[in-house]
Structure 1
């Protein structure tokens, strides 16, 4: 028993002393090794593609949450409890809740505002809401918050923290945004080319979310809200079929796949968002939800 304990402690120290790229690599390998035993049988057992994706990705996130507690304990000496998430900016307190709600309102307004501007310019026609609108609104809120929680805890929580251990603030922030965009572009070459305007948009979004976290004391609440609000608004408009494009402008201007963030207009809006979140603590920005 003593020998086993010594080896376990040695492994903890060895992981903590690795350089940032090696630590990131070790974590990903451990995550994949724990996930694969579930991925293969479930992929064979579940025929419906949407249900299969939800189940296997849900299990991946649960494994990530558990592994993160141990990783924080090994690398940052936190207790083996939910408090470990605090290292990555995720806490359970009133301040985080308020920041999450402010970010949610900002992200929702930003994305929905792009659709409204397109309507005013004559690029799109806003359709009347159907009978299922309230159901779609509720589904969209859960989808938006779920996606945002998972992606922000991974990218702006764990990954950004690891990058900061080996690089300066600017390098780690830029690297984080580029990795965020690249991982969203793991798809067939034809799709990469077709959706290319999405790449700079994702980089700008990654930078904005990273700066937002730092501006709020390295807490994730506002970043989760901002990201979730954007997904929520897009879900409502897309699933509810609230917008019909007039084809007066090409999709690379209005947004690839009806997503206003994935076109020239969205890129311009994200540039403005990045500039605003980079302005620091200003009263007028706080009143706008920043």
Structure 2
């Protein structure tokens, strides 16, 4: 076994990037399947039953393997996590916090514009004792124990996915392809990988997920190769959308077609969500110009 891994390291420079990616995911799946079967049996779940709240334990079993797979990949590739954009420097933390701000502000604008336009409405609101008008308590919705736990979960998921897709895959693919082509391939894999959980709900979101991957690649470029900014933006999106979705706080008013607000109430499956991604890309492009001018 060890000899095979050593030989793989020696052969690595001559192996096409696409083959490396196939080997990466094949190894990941093979190592995960035993754990997945055990978890699925413990949860009394089997395909094609809907996952519901059983998704998180399966996701955790999948992502807990990632550090070992990535460490092995760095050894085979004779590289380091730092070359993929991950290190423990204070600058990365600052970029992460900035990304959280960019992602959160983007979501506030996205839902705020739709609420103002009457495309969506909040299910949960309070009535003002003075005016009798509905008051939306965003702070109570976002800053509560369940939401903060979702934020921590979002940080873990986003850090894992960014290290895989914008870090490892992007860097490996750039061995054979330009940055743009590598990003397009990595983003396509990123989008398709989401089909493993909820294929029916994910299909309309595939274009949005692909574009999301491209935007997060731009975040890494704008952050001088660091993953901090991409992790922060990604975590903010997971946090905000999951919090709202879990609380079932928003519903469409049917004043506009579903493809505008998002098919099945999924922002990435609608024009409004796509515009958010494009607006975020524009902000990141301006950040990149600012960095280049320093």
Classify the TM-score, shorter chain.
0.7 to 0.9
Looking at structure 2, the residues matched to 165 and 151 of structure 1 have their Cα atoms a distance apart, in angstroms, of: 20
Report if aligned partners of 2:55, 2:197 keep a CA contact under 8 Å in 1.
no
Change (3 A) 1:125 1:85: same
Aligned to 2:254, the other structure's residue is in SS state coil
131-140 vs 14-23, greater mean Cα deviation: 131-140
Shift of 1:145: 1.2
Looking at structure 2, the residues matched to 212 and 86 of structure 1 have their Cα atoms a distance apart, in angstroms, of: 16
Query: What is the RMSD computed on CA atoms of the aligned residues?
Result: 2.7
Aligned to 2:226, the other structure's residue is in SS state coil
Looking at structure 2, the residues matched to 237 and 187 of structure 1 have their Cα atoms a distance apart, in angstroms, of: 20
Looking at structure 2, the residues matched to 242 and 125 of structure 1 have their Cα atoms a distance apart, in angstroms, of: 8
Report if aligned partners of 1:164, 1:172 keep a CA contact under 8 Å in 2.
yes
Aligned residue among 12, 17, 26 for 1:29: 26
Looking at structure 2, the residues matched to 18 and 93 of structure 1 have their Cα atoms a distance apart, in angstroms, of: 32
Report if aligned partners of 1:115, 1:260 keep a CA contact under 8 Å in 2.
no
Shift of 1:52: 4.7
The 5 A counterparts of 1:116-265 are 116-126=112-122, 127-128=124-125, 129=137, 134-186=144-196, 191=201, 195-196=203-204, 198-265=205-272
Change (3 A) 1:205 1:94: same
Correspondence for 1:115 = 111
Report if aligned partners of 2:166, 2:217 keep a CA contact under 8 Å in 1.
yes
Looking at structure 1, the residues matched to 112 and 232 of structure 2 have their Cα atoms a distance apart, in angstroms, of: 21
Correspondence for 1:93 = 89
Shift of 1:183: 2.4
The 5 A counterparts of 1:60-75 are 60-75=62-77
Shift of 1:146: 2.2
1:108-127 Cα deviation digits (max 9, x unpaired): 11112111100110112233
Correspondence for 1:10 = 7
Report if aligned partners of 1:177, 1:207 keep a CA contact under 8 Å in 2.
yes
Looking at structure 1, the residues matched to 150 and 191 of structure 2 have their Cα atoms a distance apart, in angstroms, of: 23
* Counterpart check, 1:57 vs 2:59: yes
Report if aligned partners of 2:187, 2:210 keep a CA contact under 8 Å in 1.
yes
Aligned to 1:173, the other structure's residue is in SS state helix
Report if aligned partners of 1:136, 1:239 keep a CA contact under 8 Å in 2.
no
Change (3 A) 1:191 1:281: closer
Q: Can you give the 5+ residue segments of structure 1 that lack an aligned partner in the other structure? A: 79-83, 285-290
Q: Structure 1-normalised TM-score?
A: 0.83
Shift of 1:174: 1.7
Aligned to 1:244, the other structure's residue is in SS state strand
Looking at structure 1, the residues matched to 166 and 26 of structure 2 have their Cα atoms a distance apart, in angstroms, of: 19
Looking at structure 2, the residues matched to 86 and 271 of structure 1 have their Cα atoms a distance apart, in angstroms, of: 28
Change (3 A) 1:69 1:253: same
Report if aligned partners of 1:204, 1:274 keep a CA contact under 8 Å in 2.
no
1:101-145 Cα deviation digits (max 9, x unpaired): 000111111112111100110112233249776123212212321
Aligned residues, how many? 272
Shift of 1:18: 0.9
